[in-house]
Structure 1
């Protein structure tokens, strides 16, 4: 299982599903993180947290712990 957290700068993946529950899952969905969306890792902070990803034409910062909850498609 590859999560968004595993991408290196410049790599992309396709969202397969979200393992978060409740308010955090709703927050991800509100930000446009849904199945089939292509996400690209833009930047990783010097100490690894947070990370900046690009999706749907905008940049989004996520904590590593949040990024671990976004599972990517195996071929993505």
Structure 2
């Protein structure tokens, strides 16, 4: 199983599943993290704790704990 934190900068991946809990899952869905959505990894922050992604045209920063819950293809 590959998760979003495994993706490298410059890669574009496709969301397979969102395993987050209810409130975080709702937030991610509102941001466009749905099954089949394409996510581009733009840059990683210090210590790789924070990563910036482009999801459906918007730039979104997620913590490692959050992006670890998103399964990708």
User: TM-score if structure 1 supplies the norm length?
Assistant: 0.91
The two structures, once aligned, show a CA RMSD in angstroms of 0.7
> How many pairs align?
73
Runs of 4+ in 1 over 3 A off after TM superposition: none
User: TM-score if structure 2 supplies the norm length?
Assistant: 0.95
More strand by share: 2
- The unaligned stretches of length 5 or more in structure 2 are none
Q: Does 1:4 align with 2:12?
A: no
- The unaligned stretches of length 5 or more in structure 1 are none
Measure how far apart 1:46 and its partner are: 2.4
